[in-house]
Structure 1
Amino acid sequence: MNHSETVKRYPNPSKDGIFTISLLEDIQEVNIIVADLTGRIILNRTDRKFKSNVVIDLSNQSSGIYIINISANGEHIASKRAIRI
């Protein structure tokens, strides 16, 4: 299965820095790591979700491009760009 198709991100770009990640399959544990383009990790968290949405709040970050790395049940499933304008 192509895991990147199981993860949707919206809105993108975001004016307020709030992004929603929609998980389209049942996932027991999701790990979210957000980094800026220099590689500095600005968010690292683990949530327990079951076919749900995860809200990522980058409202306290400056405008720019961020990379959201998503792992589910211990396996990397997607890397998504998030644009904060």
Structure 2
Amino acid sequence: MQFEADELSEVVVRLRRAQGQIGGVIQMIENGRDCKDVITQLAAASRALDRAGFKIIATGLEKCVTDEETDAAEVEANRKQMEKLFLTLA
């Protein structure tokens, strides 16, 4: 399944945020910051990545359901693929 760039603009924002958070984690480690602070920031980056992944899956599912040009067999195959991807993230 292919996406248009504008369909995933929110995902790009989330990924850029996660990219900044990961850079912050690296800097915190290099600066010898407290373990608790590092883990807290790392957890935030992890959540941002998870949310980006789930948004991609939700967009894919929505596209499967609303695409009138897709036949029933392809819709089912796409749905199964999205389900498998969801379980990969879960």
TM bin (shorter chain): under 0.3
Bigger share in strand: 1
TM-score (norm 1): 0.23
Which one has a larger percent helix, Structure 1 or Structure 2? 2
How does the TM-score come out when normalised to structure 2? 0.22
- Over alpha carbons, which structure has the higher Rg? 2
